[in-house]
Amino acid sequence: MADRALMEDSLAAVADSGAELRHGLFERFFAAYPDRRKTFLNVEAASIRMTDETLEMMLGLAGQEQWVWPLVTELVFTHRSYGRLPMEEYDAFIDLSIDELARHAADHWNSGIDAAWRRQAARLKTMIVQARAEWEALMPPGYVEEMS
Ligand code: HEM
């Protein structure tokens, strides 16, 4: 089965546990990066959009959707307001979103589904690196530090 279909099946399995999934994701993210908690003014609101958009972007990539790239460039640019975010944290957030999805869809999860999500995660991470590099190249020197 194509990645997109495998991914959609696993998302359907967590349709009723969206809140638990994102709460679990943010707990694990803050456990790994405790200093980040204070950067969030409204964790509940942000967690809805951050979780949804992370999963949607990977799903979009699996479907070769053209809207993913502009969304990634916007994500990278707006996140400059939240301080210096190392690439490691983006990677961790993406990986943890899949880990939590796997935990909540446990009865439906298998190695094929896991591989499909991880393949698209790798593409998303590469796009974030590329978007950061492209913004850096366009910005005057003062802006660049915040994005490194
Ligand atoms: C692919 C990964 C990510 C996506 C798709 C994403 C998406 C978003 C979106 C859409 C918002 C706006 C939320 C709103 O206005 O309600 C947001 C806010 C935010 N994001 Fe992310 N984000 C990602 C990764 C990260 C990472 C790694 C951090 C590290 C700390 C982070 C920190 C923040 C902060 C601090 C806010 C503002 C929250 C607030 O004001 O309460 N994001 N993110």
Q: What is the dihedral of CA 83, 86, 89, 90, to 10 degrees?
A: 90
Position 147 scores a pLDDT of 52
Cβ atoms 104, 17 nearer than 8 A: yes
Site to substitute for ligand 1 among 76, 79, 85, most atoms within 8 A of C-beta: 79
Position 143 scores a pLDDT of 66
Q: Which CATH superfamily is domain 3-147 in?
A: Globins (1.10.490.10)
Question: How far, in Å, is the centroid of ligand 1 from the Cα of 8?
Answer: 23
Residue 83 Cβ < 6 Å to ligand 1:
no
Position 84 scores a pLDDT of 77
Position 29 scores a pLDDT of 98
Cβ atoms 14, 101 nearer than 8 A: yes
The residue extents of the domains of the chain are 3-147
Listed as ranges, residues in the chain with pLDDT below 50 are 148
Q: Which atom of ligand 1 is nearest to the CA of 48?
A: 16
